[in-house]
Amino acid sequence: MGVNNTFDLAIVGTGIVGLAHALAAAKIGKRVVVIERDAAANGASIRNFGFVTVTGQQSGDCWRRAKRSREVWAEVAPQAGINVEHAGLCVAARRPQALRVLEAFTQTEMGRECRLLTPDEAAGKIPALRRDELAGGLWSPHELRVESREALPRLAAWLEAVHGVTFLRSTLVRHVEPPKIETTRGTVHAECVVVCPGHDFQTLFPDRIAAYGLTTCKLHMMRLKPAAKAAHLGAAVMSDLGLIRYLGYAELPEAQELKTQLAAEQSDHLANGIHLIVVQSADGSLVVGDSHHYGETVDPFAPSAVDDLILSEFDAVLDLPERAVTQRWTGTYASASDRLMLVDRPSDSVRIVIITSGTGASTSFAIGEEVIGELYGTQIPGAQI
C-alpha cells in the first residue's frame, strides 16, 4: 500500500456502480479510493451490452435516473476516450399487439421525444430488419452504446489520471467501520464508505443485505459475426419480447394483450426470461442477448437450448442468415422482485448500494450523484434536484 492511505471516501467495487460514486465524489473535491478484490472489474459491468437505455425504463425515478445517467455518459465518454459505438434505439414490432403498446407509449411523457415508424420507415432506419415480420416500430433518440469491456477500464483510468482517484486492486475488504477499513493489504482510513458489492451478498454486511431477500440472476450473451459483408445497424434493436420485460412498456394497460399473445406463441422464450437486444461493435460484430434465470446460487452452466431461443428471436427480427456465433458467455447480477435498486444505511457514514434490475449502465451515474449528495449533504454539480 502507498504512503497515503487516508481518504475522505472509500468505495468497495470497481463496477459501474462504484465508478459512478467515485465520479460524483470527485466532483465535490473528495479524496477517493476505490478498492477492488480482483485485478480488474470482471462482473456484470463488463459482461453486458454497454447499452445505456432510457426508453422503456420504469416511469418515475428509474426513467429520470436513466435520462440523467445518459447525460453523464455523453459528457464523460469523450473526455475518457470512450467511443460511443452508436446512438438511438429501434424497437421492431412484429405483431399488431406490440405496435399498440408502442402507440400507447408515445402518448406518455417518456415517449414524447420518440416516434412511431411505419414498416418502411423502420426498414429505412435498420435495413437488416426482416420485412415479412414487421408491423411497425418505435424510434428513440436517447440510447447510447459503449463497448463495456473497454469502457470500464478507460473510465477508471480517467478517474485516476484526471480526478486523482486512487485504485487498490487485488485487495479484499474484510471489515468496514469508518474511519478504518480492514483489507488484505492493511488498513485504509476513510471517513465515509460506499459498498457496491454487486451480487456478493456475504462478504460485507451479510445480515443487512439478507433482510432484502435478494436473489441472483444469470443471463446468456453472445457475440455474432454477421455475413462476410457486415450489416451496419447504426442503432440498438429490440423486439416484442422486450415490451413485456421493460416496465416502461409492460406496465401500460395495452401490454396485457401482448403478454397473452406471447404466452401462446413463445412460451419457451418467456419461461427462460428471454428478450432481444442487439447492439453493434466497431468491428461490425453484434452483441446479442439475453435470458434470465434466478436462484440463490445460480449454476455455471449455459445450455445451448437457451442460446437457440435467443437466436430464433434474432432471426425472426433480422435478416442476417450467414451470421455465426464467435463468443458465448454468462453474466450474473443481483435481483429483487420488489425493487429496482437499494440503498442501505448501516451508519451515518456508510452506504450499501446495489442495483437489483440489471440497469447499472443505464442508471448508476444518477444514483451515485444521489447517494454522494445525501451522504455529504450537498448538491453534485449537474445533478438533478
Instruction: Give per-residue burial for 92-102: e unless 16+ CB within 10 Å, then b.
Output: bbbbebbbbbb
| Residue ranges of the chain that CATH labels 3.30.9.10 | 88-144+215-335
Greatest Cα pair distance, the chain, in angstroms, is: 66
pLDDT tens digits, one per residue of 174-206: 999 999 999 999 999 999 999 999 999 999 999
Residues 254, 260: contact at Cβ < 8 Å?
no
Determine the pLDDT at residue 277.
98
Residue 122 has pLDDT above 70, yes or no: yes
| Residue ranges of the chain that CATH labels 3.50.50.60 | 1-50+147-206+339-385
The 3-state DSSP class for residue 230 equals coil
Q: Which CATH superfamily is domain 1-50+147-206+339-385 in?
A: FAD/NAD(P)-binding domain (3.50.50.60)
Q: State the cell numbers at 191.
A: 471517513
Determine the pLDDT at residue 385.
55
Residue 2 has pLDDT above 80, yes or no: no
Determine the pLDDT at residue 313.
98
The 3-state DSSP class for residue 183 equals strand
The 3-state DSSP class for residue 144 equals strand
Q: State the cell numbers at 224.
A: 455474432
**Helix extents (H) in the chain:** 16-27, 44-47, 61-80, 96-105, 119-125, 148-163, 206-210, 247-250, 255-265, 267-271, 304-317, 360-376
Q: In which band, very low, low, confident or very high, does the pLDDT at 67 lie, cut at 50, 70 and 90? A: very high
By residue count, the chain amounts to 385
Residue 371 has pLDDT above 80, yes or no: yes
For 233-256, the three-class secondary structure string (H helix, E strand, C coil) is CCCEEECHHHHHCCHHHHCCCCHH
C-alpha dist (Å) from residue 116 to 90, 103, 122, 152: 10, 7, 9, 34
Determine the pLDDT at residue 230.
64
Section 223-233 average pLDDT: 80
Question: What Rg do the C-alpha atoms of the chain give, in angstroms?
Answer: 21
pLDDT > 90: percent of the chain: 92
Please tell me the distance from the alpha carbon of residue 50 to that of residue 372, in angstroms, as a whole number.
24
The 3-state DSSP class for residue 214 equals coil
Pick from 19-23, 130-134, 299-303 the range whose average pLDDT is largest: 19-23
Residue 1 has pLDDT above 60, yes or no: no
pLDDT tens digits, one per residue of 230-247: 688 999 999 999 999 999
Determine the pLDDT at residue 383.
79
Section 245-263 average pLDDT: 98
**39-48, 85-94, 284-293: the lowest-pLDDT one:** 39-48
Please tell me the distance from the alpha carbon of residue 382 to that of residue 28, in angstroms, as a whole number.
11
The 3-state DSSP class for residue 309 equals helix
CATH of domain 88-144+215-335: 3.30.9.10
Please tell me the distance from the alpha carbon of residue 376 to that of residue 267, in angstroms, as a whole number.
49
pLDDT tens digits, one per residue of 323-366: 999 999 999 999 999 999 999 999 999 999 999 999 999 999 99
Residue 41 has pLDDT above 90, yes or no: no
Please tell me the distance from the alpha carbon of residue 159 to that of residue 13, in angstroms, as a whole number.
14
Which residues neighbour 347 within 8 Å (Cβ) at sequence distance 6 or greater?
178
Determine the pLDDT at residue 229.
62
pLDDT tens digits, one per residue of 74-83: 999 999 999 9
